[in-house]
């Protein structure tokens, strides 16, 4: 799994036959990798996922094909369907595929609340040490929201915190969940955030925390961020307590630029930020590690609308564009983003989550027509 900002200790490891050229800048929109056309055909693991996954990932694949980029998709099952078919939500052939391709486009996978197997989304991120989750949150022309011009990059640590999944029952009626924060993981995500900021000409990194209560764990996270910040004097560094940050995000989102968060706060604040730009149907995402990346939307399986053909495909299509950037097809990624913007600006073929009447398939077709 390939490139991330060099100084963040990421990058190199080009895979397959794709000619990536120089390693890695993280471009605006959470994009990374050299711009311009790559050579050869990239092999990418494709996981349609559960719920609305097949609908929106299908849309992303169609748009990538329409833009003219040839990808050799290695289609794999995961989650509920894989459990039924192979007896495991993470079958061996999926892991083998990911080890070989080092890059995936993935739909959301179902995680049952309070029962069954642990989140496969989390499992895969940890297995491949995809430690940096990047979610560009931007106001879309044509989508009516309380604030104009929101432009925030959420950078979330992906491997530890309460997601370490260490829970046990101390006594009947008493359980304990352990929050793991390490200097190593905190330092590398902070460095990633500052590298991202520098490469993309962003001016401010805000670390979000609750160190007033979790003095040791969040205190350590902040100390690491402060130490890293000293190496980036060109970028302003601020800290904000998570509850106050949430209030500020919904009253003055323009006060923020790049957010640096631990895993759980990152999860919650991502959805809050998605709300600022029209909802979960709009925010793409990527998980980067030293050796690869998995591209997935912020939204989950959306069980309430799954199978109805009305999911907004924009988040998945834009996630596909991030994948193209990563593979070195940056201009194709730009064409996709421009086409999405044109469709939203026109406002004629849009899904019900933004008060339209179009289906996922209609909107995808409109994006394809708008490709230049």
Residue 106 binding ligand ATP, by CB under 6 A:
no
> Which residue in this structure is represented by tokens 């309070």?
114
For residues 55 and 314, give the distance between their C-alpha atoms in angstroms, rounded to a whole number: 12
307 binds ligand ATP (CB under 6 A): no
**By CB under 6 A, residue 302 contacts ligand ATP:** yes
Q: Which residue is nearest to ligand ATP (CB)?
A: 300
Nearer to ligand ATP, 193 or 350 (CB): 350
**C-beta atoms surrounding 260 within 10 Å:** 32
Assess 110 for contact with ligand ATP (CB under 6 A): yes
Considering only the stretches 81-89, 176-184, 297-305, 364-372, report the one whose residues sit in contact with ligand ATP under the rule CB under 6 A: 297-305
Tell which one of 126, 299, 318, 337 touches ligand ATP (CB under 6 A): 299
- Smaller CB separation from ligand ATP, 185 or 363: 363
Count residues binding ligand ATP (CB under 6 A). Answer: 19
Q: How far is the CB of 190 from ligand ATP (least distance, A)?
A: 27
124 belongs to the binding site for ligand ATP (CB under 6 A)? no
The interface mask with ligand ATP, positions 319-358, x = CB under 6 A, is ----------------------------------x-----
199/1 Cα distance (integer angstroms): 20
Cβ distance to ligand ATP smaller for residue 115 or 304: 304
Task: Kindly tell me which of 16 and 284 has the beta carbon lying closer to ligand ATP.
Answer: 284
Q: Judge contact between 115 and 56, C-beta under 8 A.
A: no
Q: Does 32 bind ligand ATP (CB under 6 A)?
A: no
Encode the chain in three state secondary structure: CCCCCHHHCCCCCCCCCCCCCCCCCEECCCEECCCCCCCCCEEEEEECCCCCHHHHHHHHHHHHHHCCCCEEEEEECCCHHHHHHHCCCCCHHHHHHHHHHCEEEECCCCCCCCCCCCCHHHHHHHHCCCCEEEEEEECCCCCCCCCCCCEEEEEEECCCEEEEEEEEEEECCEEEEEEECCHHHHHHHHHHHHHHHHHCCCCEEEEEECCCCCCCHHHHHHHHHHHHHCCCCCCEEEEEEHHHHHHHHHHCHHHCCEEEECHHHHHHHHHHHHHHCCCHHHCCCEEECCCCEEECCCCCCCCCCCCCCCCCCHHHHHHHHHHHHHHCCHHHHHHHHHHHHHHHHHCCCCCHHHCCCCCHHHHHHHHHHHCC
Closest CB 271 distance from ligand ATP, rounded Å: 7
> Directed axis angle between helix 360-370 and helix 330-346, to 10°?
120
Least Å distance, CB 310 to ligand ATP, is: 7
What does the per-residue mask of binding to ligand ATP show for 160-199, with x meaning CB under 6 A?
A: ----------------------------------------
Among 300, 320, 328, 330, binds ligand ATP (CB under 6 A): 300
Is 51 or 333 the residue whose CB approaches ligand ATP more closely?
51
Q: Closest separation between CB of residue 52 and ligand ATP, Å?
A: 6
β-pairing verdict for 293-295 and 103-106: parallel
Interface region with ligand ATP, contact rule CB under 6 A, candidates 97-105, 247-255, 299-307, 336-344: 299-307
Instruction: Report the residue from 159, 186, 200, 301 that binds ligand ATP according to the rule CB under 6 A.
Output: 301
Q: Select the residue interacting with ligand ATP from 59, 315, 322, 366 (CB under 6 A).
A: 315
Q: Which of 59, 311, 321, 324 binds ligand ATP (CB under 6 A)?
A: 311
Residues of this chain that interact with ligand ATP (CB under 6 A) are: 51-52, 56, 108, 110-111, 280-281, 299-305, 311-312, 315, 353
């Amino acid at each position: 799994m390939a490139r991330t900002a060099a100084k963040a200790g990421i990058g190199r490891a080009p895979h397959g036959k794709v000619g990536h050229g120089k390693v890695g800048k993280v471009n605006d929109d959470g994009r990374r990798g050299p711009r311009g056309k790559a050579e050869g055909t990239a092999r990418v693991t494709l996981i349609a996922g559960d719920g609305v996954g097949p609908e929106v990932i299908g849309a992303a694949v169609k748009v990538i094909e329409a833009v003219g980029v040839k990808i050799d998709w290695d289609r794999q099952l995961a989650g509920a369907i894989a459990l039924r078919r192979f007896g495991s939500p993470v079958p061996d052939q999926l892991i083998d595929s990911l080890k070989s391709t080092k890059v995936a486009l993935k739909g959301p996978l179902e995680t049952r609340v309070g029962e069954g197997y642990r989140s496969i989304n989390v499992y895969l991120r940890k297995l491949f040490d995809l430690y940096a989750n990047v979610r560009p949150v931007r106001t879309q022309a044509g989508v009516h929201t309380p604030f104009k011009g929101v432009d925030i990059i959420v950078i979330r640590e992906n491997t530890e915190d309460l997601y370490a999944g260490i829970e046990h029952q101390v006594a009947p009626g008493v359980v304990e969940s352990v929050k793991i924060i390490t200097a190593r993981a905190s330092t590398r995500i902070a460095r990633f955030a500052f590298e991202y900021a520098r490469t993309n000409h962003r001016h401010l990194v805000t670390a979000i925390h609750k160190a007033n209560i979790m003095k040791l764990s969040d205190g350590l996270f902040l100390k690491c961020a402060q130490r890293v910040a000293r190496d980036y004097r060109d970028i302003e560094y601020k800290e904000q307590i998570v509850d106050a940050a949430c209030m500020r995000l919904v009253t003055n989102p323009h006060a923020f630029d790049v957010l640096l968060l631990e895993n759980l706060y990152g999860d919650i604040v991502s959805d809050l930020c998605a709300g600022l730009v029209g909802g979960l149907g709009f925010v793409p995402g990527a998980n980067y590690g030293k050796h690869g990346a998995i591209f997935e939307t912020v939204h989950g399986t959306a069980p309430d609308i799954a199978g109805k053909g009305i999911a907004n495909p924009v988040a998945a299509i834009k996630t596909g564009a991030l994948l193209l950037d990563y593979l070195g097809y940056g201009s194709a990624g730009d064409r996709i983003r421009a086409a999405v913007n044109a469709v939203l600006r026109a406002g004629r073929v849009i899904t019900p989550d933004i008060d339209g009447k179009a289906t996922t398939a209609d909107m995808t077709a409109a994006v394809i027509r708008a490709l230049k």
